[in-house]
């Protein structure tokens, strides 16, 4: 049975709270198996039987969570291979990563950005905010803390559409624990 990771945007902010147990129960109610929740920030690993496409699974999750929770949730779905690929990808010179006081961030995107969108976003990069693309991911190495950065994340969203941020370390941990080959 194929395994997936669902990264949910804004699941536990703005007065909306769901426990890991309730989130796991919601995914089980939607019909998924082997559900595991990683930390309390909307990272759900699950198995799905049948031959549903990732797009169909995403729609099923979005609709199911909306029904279960009573509010809209945006899902960024990745296959096991995609999670491993993200975890293994090193978009920046290791010396820059080691020398940064910030943590390597990752914006998960719904779709692969166009060439024009990629060029526009890469123009936002500075020595203090390095940017690089994966397939449906934007890697961001801030020189300091997330909140201290001058990178305009609202402007990024206008170009790239909805996104959700995680540290790359979170994806590496999920890959090791849930998707090791």
Compute the average pLDDT of residues 47-60.
Answer: 90
Looking at the structure, do residues 10 and 54 belong to the same domain, yes or no? yes
Do residue 95 and residue 134 come from a single domain?
yes
Q: Tokens 């198995």: give the residue.
A: 47
16 and 97 in a common domain: no
Residue 121: which domain range?
A: 85-178
- Rounded alpha-carbon distances, angstroms, from residue 150 to 12, 26, 129, 137: 24, 37, 8, 20
> Among the listed ranges 37-51, 83-97, 163-177, which one has the minimum average pLDDT value?
37-51
Secondary structure of residue 175 in the 3-state scheme: helix
- Within this chain, do residues 49 and 117 fall inside the same structural domain, yes or no? no
Contacts of 122 (CB under 8 A, 6+ apart): 131, 132, 133
Tens-place pLDDT, residues 84-107: 999 999 999 888 888 888 889 999
**Domain finish residue from 79, 112, 133:** 79
Name the band, by pLDDT with cuts 50, 70 and 90, for residue 145.
Answer: confident
Give the CATH number for residue 8: 3.30.70.1280
26 and 111 co-located in one domain: no
User: Do residue 23 and residue 62 come from a single domain?
Assistant: yes
Question: Is residue 69 domain-shared with residue 117, that is, in the same domain?
Answer: no
Last residue of a domain, one of 79, 108, 125: 79
For the cut 90, the answer to whether the pLDDT of residue 181 exceeds it is no
Query: Which three-class secondary structure state does DSSP give residue 1?
Result: coil
Q: Report pLDDT for 50.
A: 79
Same domain, 57 and 93: no
Token representation of residue 37:
């929740």
Structure tokens at 15: 């007065």
* Full-model pTM: 0.93
CA dist 7 and 37 (Å) reads: 10
Q: What DSSP element (H or E) covers 98? A: helix 94-99
Q: pLDDT averaged over the chain?
A: 91
Read off the pLDDT band of 147 (50, 70, 90): confident
Same structural domain for residues 167 and 105?
yes
Q: What is the pLDDT of residues 12-43, one digit of tens each?
A: 677 778 889 999 999 999 999 999 998 878 89
Q: Which residue, 45, 79, 113, sits at the end of a domain? A: 79
| Contact between residue 146 and residue 97 where contact means Cβ atoms under 8 Å apart | no
- For residue 180, the Cα-to-chain-centroid distance in whole angstroms is 18
Same domain? For 58 and 115 the reply is: no
Residue 68 pLDDT level (bands cut at 50, 70, 90): confident
Q: What value does the CA radius of gyration of the chain take, rounded to a whole number of Å?
A: 16
């Amino acid at each position: 049975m194929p395994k997936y990771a669902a990264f949910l945007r804004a699941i536990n902010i703005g007065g909306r709270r769901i426990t890991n147990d309730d989130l796991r129960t919601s995914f089980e109610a939607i019909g998924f198996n082997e559900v595991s929740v990683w930390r309390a920030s909307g990272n759900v690993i699950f198995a799905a039987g049948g031959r549903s496409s990732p797009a169909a699974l995403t729609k099923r999750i979005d609709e199911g969570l909306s029904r279960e929770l009573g509010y809209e949730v945006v899902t960024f779905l990745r296959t096991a291979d995609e999670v491993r690929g993200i975890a293994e990808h090193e978009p920046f010179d290791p010396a820059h990563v080691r020398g940064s006081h910030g943590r390597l961030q990752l914006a998960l995107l719904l779709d692969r950005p166009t060439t024009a969108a990629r060029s526009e976003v890469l123009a936002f990069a500075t020595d203090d905010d390095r940017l690089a693309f994966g397939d449906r991911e934007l890697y961001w190495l801030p020189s300091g803390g997330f909140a201290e950065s001058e990178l305009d994340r609202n402007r990024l969203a206008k170009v790239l559409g909805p996104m959700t941020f995680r540290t790359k370390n979170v994806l590496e941990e999920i890959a090791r624990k849930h998707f090791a080959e």
